[in-house]
Amino acid sequence: MSLPLSRRSLLEAVGALGVGALAGCIGRPKYDRETLDDASETPIPTVGSPSLPLPNGYLTTGRTIARERAERLDARLSNLPAELDASDRAVASARDDLSDARRFLSGSHQRTAALDAIRYARETLGEGHGWLDAAEGIATESALRNRLDDFGPLVAERRRDIEYRATTVPAGIVVASAIEERIHRADAALEAGSWDLDKAERADGDERVQYLAMAAGEVVATRVALADAGALIDGQRARVFENTSNHHGPMTAAAERLLRATSETVAEFDPVPTGRPVEAMVVARLAPDTEQASAALDRDAPATALAALAGVVHAIRIRARVLDALDAERLPKADAAATVVRTRRRAVDALSESLGSNPGPVERERLRYAEAVLLDGDRHLERLRESARRDNAAATDAARRATAAYAFGRYAVETANAAAHRVVSTTENEVPS
């Protein structure tokens, strides 16, 4: 008589069977295209980023600057000086940068996503112009280093400008973390640009041109990051009363408390055998996120630490749900197109329901993570649709991966609110009454 599997033995069995065990399917499943096509007609809801307090007209100005820089780069590429040939590496690289920047600018973006798209475009164009400046002898190590040195005091000034004032704790976490991250980006760009210039001084030929172009891109990246941080600081000041409490202390205390608690929880996890994809997805996110939170606290960026810890708490809760599903043998089997579609529908319905409840900004960030997981499932679903007629190993693998992503994404949706609440309530408890 067979005995019931314990959690440990069940998990070991899953590990032994690998990806196939997650889907719970052995053999040659059938995936009819008609059923799979029906699933693709229902799009995954777009979560969107939490709103950031940008001054009116800031995005329009940034987009205009980027487009003007793109037009200027296009004109330079169309009228190359005699010393440059269209086949030169610098010219080809600048053309690629121009194409990438225009792609960033051409997308239809929601307010916060547009801020990032414009930043990517301007950084890319900075490097594109840098390629030509370096190849033409316009860019030099000394000139670029002087520009980087000028930014050092500005980065420190911007960091001092963060006031951590907000009408609510969730809004304060999201806005302050956005400012902190842009200041950190400026710091990182300064360091990277200095490193590039050190390399350029020891190089020659195409290699020197490459390092100078990269340094030029970091100069622009620093400028844009500082401008975005300043815009967010100004926008926040315009929307928050002067007598609003500063939440820097409560955020720091909450982040320290959560970091200790989650680190202890993660340390107690049993090792995860190779081959358990859903659990591996969770565990892979735990250590990096915890390290990110610790590093953020070290550089006095408590809101960034809290945002990272929201991801840690979320992953811990998802892991618990996965373990419960394994115990109850509830993970879906990717044994037919209908199963894949049903798993996807449940995840999409869960996300739609969560968005309908008007999630707060911290919860919305967690739902964005779930959305990304579901979109990954759709990429595997497309692979499945392409290989379904052959019903071969590629179709089976795609079906299992899609089903795993949809199941995991549903758990991410269903635990997003609890994860956000844990972070927000811990911070609120640190605010003096």
Q: Average pLDDT of 371-386?
A: 93
Predicted TM-score (pTM) of the model is 0.86
Task: Give the model's pLDDT for residue 24.
Answer: 39
Q: Confidence class of residue 109 from pLDDT cuts 50, 70 and 90?
A: confident
Q: Average pLDDT of 125-134?
A: 96
pLDDT higher at 338 or 421: 421
3-state helix vs strand vs coil in the chain, percent to 5: 75, 0, 25
Say yes or no to pLDDT of 2 above 50.
no
* Span of 109-113, 200-204, 252-256, 427-431 with lowest mean pLDDT: 109-113
Q: How many residues does the chain have?
A: 433
74/390 Cα distance (integer angstroms)? 46
Residue 290 Cα distances to 176, 262, 285, 315, angstroms: 19, 8, 9, 11
Say yes or no to pLDDT of 432 above 70.
yes
Q: Average pLDDT of 274-296?
A: 65
pLDDT higher at 285 or 229: 229
137/133 Cα distance (integer angstroms)? 6
Q: Confidence class of residue 325 from pLDDT cuts 50, 70 and 90?
A: confident
Q: Average pLDDT of 395-421?
A: 92
The pair of three-digit structure tokens given for residue 407, joined into one six-digit string: 């199941």
Task: Give the model's pLDDT for residue 40.
Answer: 75
Nearest residue to 17 (alpha-carbon basis) of 276, 271, 272: 276
Q: Confidence class of residue 286 from pLDDT cuts 50, 70 and 90?
A: low
